[in-house]
Each structure stands twice: as structure tokens, then as C-alpha cells.
Amino acid sequence: MRKSDLTILVADDDPDYLFQTITNLGRAGYKTVAVESQAEAEAVINKFKPNLAIFDLMMESDDSGFILCYKLKRKYPDVPVILATAVAHETGISFSLDSEAEKSWIRADRYLEKGIRAEELDQEIMKLLKI
């Protein structure tokens, strides 16, 4: 499969981060759909099946990303999801996808801290899409 045949849905309420992610993914060769809210992401999911999705955790509500993971997986169990956030263990509540238990709860395939480099992101995506 060629990257240019693959569409990645990106949801993030930080317009700068969204712009950068889209730009980086575009440079890596993917097609992208960008939305700025959980509500918009849900509307897109209802109409269209992306090849992969990247969701910010905190948008309209603090758990928008979790909800989107859940809804996307319910509709398209085979679409890989990356949950991206700037919230880290400083908050006292941390998430990872290292144990089976957490995987069953957080319906995402990868959990990434925001601020990772474009090449790293591309590699994670290629792993998830097996390309």
C-alpha cells in the first residue's frame, strides 16, 4: 500500500499543533483530514472510514480522546488509533498502554506524548499500518 492512498484523521483543538501535524503527515506522503473538536471528529467518523486516526485527549471535555477512541473502534474495529496528549504523569494520573488491562480500557493502539518528532510519528504510523 502506498502512503498516498492512506487517509489519516487528526483531531486536535490546538490549531497550531493540528497545522503542524497535518503538514508533517502531508510531507511524509499521507492524505489527511483535520478537525478541531470531538464533535467534528464524530461527524467525520460517521460518514467516512479513515485508515488511521490521531486524537488529542483533551478537547471539549477532558476525556474527548477516550470517547473518540471508543466510538471509532466500535464502528471500525480494524482502524488503528493514536491517542496524543500533553498531559503527563505530573498530573498524578498517567496512562500507558503497556498492560493488557489498560489496553482493554483505553481503546487506542498507541499513546503518544505530544511533541514527538515528525519522523518518530511516521514510524509509529507505519508500524500500525504495517507498511
Partner 1 sequence: MAVLKVLVVDDEPGIRSGVTRILKTFQVNYPFMDEDYAFEVIEAASGEDGIEIIDRDKPDIVLLDNKLPGIQGIDVLEYIRNKRYDIVVAMITSYASLDVAVKAHKFGATDFIPKPFTPQELKSSIENITKQQYLKRITHQMNEEGKKIRYQFLSVLSHELKAPLNAIEGYLRMMQERQSGDLIEDYAIPIDRSLQRVQSMRNLIMDLLDFTKIRLERKEEKIEEVHLSSIASNAIVTVQPYAIQMEVAVSMNVKSDAVIMADPTDIEIIFNNLISNSVKYNKRGGKAEVTIDENSYEVIISFSDTGIGIKETDRENLFSEFVRIKNEKTKNITGSGLGLSIVRKVIELYNGSIAVDSVPDIGTTFTVRLPKKSN
Interface residue list for partner 1 (CB under 8 A): 13-17, 20, 23, 27, 36-37, 58-60, 86-88, 90-93, 99, 101-102, 104-105, 114-115, 117-118
CA atoms within 13 A on the CB side of 34: 16
Q: How far is the CB of 50 from partner 1 (least distance, A)?
A: 22
Q: How far is the CB of 7 from partner 1 (least distance, A)?
A: 22
Q: How far is the CB of 13 from partner 1 (least distance, A)?
A: 6
Q: Which is nearer to partner 1, 5 or 60 (CB)?
A: 60
**Rounded Cα gap, residues 82 and 45, in angstroms:** 15
In terms of C-beta density within 10 A (0-12 exposed, 13-18 middle, 19 or more buried), how is residue 31 classed? middle
